[in-house]
Amino acid sequence: MEKINIGIIGGGLMGKEAASAFGRWFTLNDVPFCPQLTAVCDLNEHVLSWYNKISPVVLKTTDYTELLADKSIDVVYVAVPHSMHKEIYTAVLQSGKDLLAEKPFGISLEDALAIQQEADRLGRFVRCSSEMPFMPGAQRVIQEVLSGRLGKIIEIKAGFLHSSDMDLNKPINWKRQSQYCGELGVMADLGMHVLHIPLRLGWKPSAVFGQLQKIVHERPNGRGQIVPCDTWNNAIINCKLTIDEEPIPMTLEMKRLAPGETNTWYIEVLGTGGGARYSTKDTKVFWTFKNGKEQLWQRVDLGFQTQFPVTTGGIFEAGFADCFLQMLAAYIVERGRRLDGKFGCVTPEEAVDSHRIFEAALQSHLTQSVVEVSYADVPVTVI
Ligand SMILES: NC(=O)c1ccc[n+]([C@@H]2O[C@H](COP(=O)([O-])OP(=O)(O)OC[C@H]3O[C@@H](n4cnc5c(N)ncnc54)[C@H](O)[C@@H]3O)[C@@H](O)[C@H]2O)c1
């Protein structure tokens, strides 16, 4: 077992999620690497104190440069507000460490490109977080597509739906302010999760029509005042794709105002020969469509068939913490060149492409026109 020392910068919601997953590493059966969380950095001392219960965490600091100066750390997971991504990601790379970044991989396309270029220049191993595709049902959708059983693709739909903004009295936080979250709003927040599988399957839209909504314009700040809330709540992106020389519609939805949807990630692919559908709304259910004399949607209750086998019994159902562990396993195994064709984390190129698509969707909304997505480093053009 090769030991890998991990540092976390940004110990909040996702830092704790990562710590919890590294703490359950022993449940993975055949992974020949042993990551150990040894250092955490957060500006907030109260957040840092949460890590007191993890004994291998020997370094706790409020200064990320101190963590990066520690030569024993091999990999750093960074989970900080988007406005800090470029500065901290590039500092990690320049310190000689590998990086597991959080989405959206920079607050803007410009920053995402700068991070990618620095990673390329320094030859570091960099991937970006997106865990939902590691759910067993999501993996089955990918397998159905790759099997060819779907025939000619008719249509693709994917989305990530939250109801987190439905509480109009919820105090504002950095995720609801463009200066910290970015101009892309909900697209930056939820979109990488939605595009991970489409981009991996080569479904890169050539043009988009974006419909964005800012419905909640102000929120309490928790100190008795009402302050502006300037991020996009919801986005629907209608994409033009070409698959086998046919134009194919792909609809992407990212919403924080989706009534009744706590954390619903879904993907549906329909073809002339069959279809596949998975939604975390019904966590263990995988749907396949069979096109015969009678057309049939078939429901299968999945068990714990994860890419990286774990000790959990095969009949039990997987959840968020499980797909997060699977994603970390994919990162560590791919870093060690042992992924062997399994599904991997978002690459820097895919993260940059997601920015290109979201920037085009934003331009589309602002100009109320269809916008071509440019995959070269040139400005988007309005059709
Ligand atoms: N993969 C997912 O499912 C998922 C879910 C939520 C958030 N995220 C992403 O994770 C990142 C963090 O989001 P979060 O929900 O954990 O936010 P959070 O606000 O809960 O935590 C961020 C932490 O970063 C700390 N921080 C801020 N600036 C810092 C600095 N300069 N140095 C050290 N620490 C600093 C804050 O004190 C805070 O504790 C974002 O990029 C977000 O988009 C990913």
Does the pLDDT value for residue 148 go beyond 60? yes
Our CA dihedral for 100, 1, 309, 158, rounded to 10 degrees, sits at: 10
pTM higher than 0.85: yes
Q: What average pLDDT score do residues 288-302 get? A: 94
pLDDT at residue 1, rounded to an integer = 87
Residue where the block lists tokens 């020949």: 32
Measure the CA–CA gap between 133 and 138, rounded to whole angstroms: 5
Q: Are 183 and 235 in contact (CB under 8 A)?
A: no
CA 88 to ligand 1: nearest atom: 31
Long-range contacts at 42-46 (CB < 8 A, ≥ 24 apart): 42/9, 42/10, 42/11, 42/12, 42/15, 44/11, 44/12
Expressed in angstroms and rounded, the spacing between residue 329 Cα and the centre of ligand 1 is: 21
Q: Are 290 and 274 in contact (CB under 8 A)?
A: yes
pLDDT at residue 89, rounded to an integer = 98
2-128 homologous superfamily:
NAD(P)-binding Rossmann-like Domain (3.40.50.720)
Measure the CA–CA gap between 97 and 69, rounded to whole angstroms: 10
What are the CA-CA distances from residue 107 to residues 192, 198, 370 (Å)?
13, 22, 24
Residue of 13, 164, 254, 328 best suited for mutating to test ligand 1, as the one with most atoms within 8 Å of CB: 13
Expressed in angstroms and rounded, the spacing between residue 84 Cα and the centre of ligand 1 is: 9
Residues 6 or more apart in contact with residue 52 via CB below 8 angstroms: 60
132-319+341-366 homologous superfamily:
Dihydrodipicolinate Reductase; domain 2 (3.30.360.10)
Kindly report the protein residue whose alpha carbon is nearest to atom 27 of ligand 1: 80
Residue of 8, 9, 14 best suited for mutating to test ligand 1, as the one with most atoms within 8 Å of CB: 14
CA 181 to ligand 1: nearest atom: 43
Q: Do 2-128 and 132-319+341-366 fold alike per CATH?
A: no
Expressed in angstroms and rounded, the spacing between residue 87 Cα and the centre of ligand 1 is: 14
Q: Write out the two tokens for 126.
A: 């960099």
Residue-wise pLDDT for 209-244, tens only, equals 999 999 999 999 999 999 999 999 999 999 999 999
Q: What average pLDDT score do residues 277-297 get? A: 95
Kind plus residue range of the DSSP H or E element containing 111: helix 109-122
Expressed in angstroms and rounded, the spacing between residue 125 Cα and the centre of ligand 1 is: 21
Residue-wise pLDDT for 321-380, tens only, equals 999 999 999 999 999 999 999 999 999 999 999 999 999 999 999 999 999 999 986 544
Exposure string of 103-138, with b = 16+ CB inside 10 Å and e = fewer, is bbbbbbbebbbbbbebbeeeebbbbbbbbbbbbbbb
- What is the DSSP code string of 277-294? EEEGGGTTEEEEEEESSS
Residue-wise pLDDT for 174-218, tens only, equals 999 999 999 999 999 999 999 999 999 999 999 999 999 999 999
Domains of the chain, by residue range, sit at 2-128, 132-319+341-366
∠ CA 132-336-307, rounded to 5° = 35
